[in-house]
Structure 1
Amino acid sequence: MTSRTAKYDVIVIGGGAAGLSGAQALARSRRSVLVIDDGTPRNAPADGVHNFLTRDGVPPAEIYKLGRREVQGYGGSFVDGTVTTARRTADGFEVLVDGTAYLGRRLLVTTGLVDVLPDVPGLADRWGKDVVHCPYCHGWEVRDQAIGVLATSPMAMHQVQLFRQLSDDVTLFLHTAPEPTEEQWEELAARGIAVVQGKVEQVEVADDKITGVRLEGGTVVPRQALAIQTTVRARAGFLADLGLEPTMLESEVGTATPVDAMGATQVPGVYAAGNVSNPMAQVMPSAAAGLMAGAAINFDLITEETRLAVAARSS
């Protein structure tokens, strides 16, 4: 049996940087806001958030705790749980969480994404430690180390040059990626980037640290850190009943939910911000996108309310 709650101006699905920032903007505009969050942010494995001015190195959970407190201070509400379905109603939307239906006039989706790692034994256990993906998020922490870049797509050519900025000892493992072009071979050589052909069989670990990369055939190349390009999957399957499906990114590294500059999706009344729509966004730009989407939703509601008020006054 499904129970229903009071209706909110906006339901924010996802309580990370984008969701909390959008919720704060809306609550400060005196909107009734409900944030629904399942407590599994993308950056949970990370020790700290970086490139977030005044919050550099702060654990993600601490930032979200502070954000929740601020949103609650402006009257925002929270529910812990996972949204399984979102449907349109006569005057808004209904989202289902563990048998309870929450009603909102607008939706802001900030559920982020899932990183799918290459199927290499030992890789997943080191994720967020000495297996990293973003040079801006984690590069400083592995600077001057022996870094390996595990190539699974053409994006590895871009990634390896970024990590070469952080260390003189960088090795590109071609693994399952296409062979570099003649121009790329020249660029790799010019920057002193070693290239190892053949598939990676396993990540070697000792004393809770990466020690090397084992290739098929048994050769081990010593490394201290490993960078990878994950396959990203937008966490937005619950929007299917609204006709909103994630699309493949131009880089072909995964999916995202398309939005315009203010976060509006192709479905009127549904907005998205953060990694669910922009997988490249770090915490600070995700928060900024949430703020912009919150502002856009507020004005969207004002436009609707003004139209209804004019109609009522004329009748």
Structure 2
Amino acid sequence: MRRAGAWLGALLLLIAAAPAGAQARAAPPPTAVVAPREARPGAPVTVTGAGWRPGALLTLLVCGQNMIGGTNACANADGRTVTAARDGTFRREIPAAAPPLPCPCVVHVATVTGAAAAADAALVVSGHPVKPLPAQPGGGRLSVLDARLAGSSGLLTWFGAPPRRRLVVTVGNPGSGPVRDPVFRLGTAHGVLAPSWEERPWHGTVDAGRKAEIPLGVELAAGAYGDYTVSLEYGGRVLVEQPWDVPRPWGVTLFRVLLCVVVPLGLFRAGLAVVDRVRPRTPAAAPPSEEKAGDPLPWFRPGTVDEKRRTG
């Protein structure tokens, strides 16, 4: 009877959780809207958004060429930040700054921390040059559906070994042709410093309308700690910016503290041993005799009075 009740309870939980999971999967992507949609350089425009994660920190940038070149195509100095409200909405004023690349221009909104999410809103910057977008060879292109850093730090990392993670990216191909053997650029940046990039080829094919999971290894220098950002670029466009909080290697600090204590103590003991070895030795004093000559009270010792009485 108890087993049947347990099975019934588990079935009810699964039924109750199924609609919630379906709603989570069906959640619409975040959006961003600019008003007015055309402004002269430097004029303020208002950006509103909905569907963002509550409390998420967002960056707003005006970018040229539809941000195909990543943040290098954006007016980064004139960017703004905003925090999403509890209902996932935001409202922020931003200057329509002239980006370093020609239009078509967009206001790019992206999350700074947590799960990666982004949205673009078209913006016309009056008087700014306009050029056609570069052609996409082969008709295939990649977009990120999900990204995460997998792995954890071990005991050796606690003692200063290089921190390692795997950037697992799920990409889709919304283009008209396949993408074969794409070459990504993986970058790591510490704090506000510029990322250092390295090429990472992936051998495989993502057909049109299909998706694939791509794992890429990430390794930092030995003893690294602090706030890092892992970026993934493909086709001149930054696809992912994933934060990575690397803990401090406290084992190295503990080793240094012990070194500062043990080495001076060892030197002190070695110095004592050297001093004890080189100092002159004094001859050992002879043991005192039982009865010294000229003792003022020779009778004031145990047994002396009794012996005199017996001999007296």
TM-score by length of 2: 0.24
- Return the structure number with greater helix share: 1
**Structure of greater relative contact order (alpha carbons < 8 Å, 6+ residues apart):** 1
- Return the structure number with greater strand share: 2
Choose 1 or 2 for highest CA Rg.
2
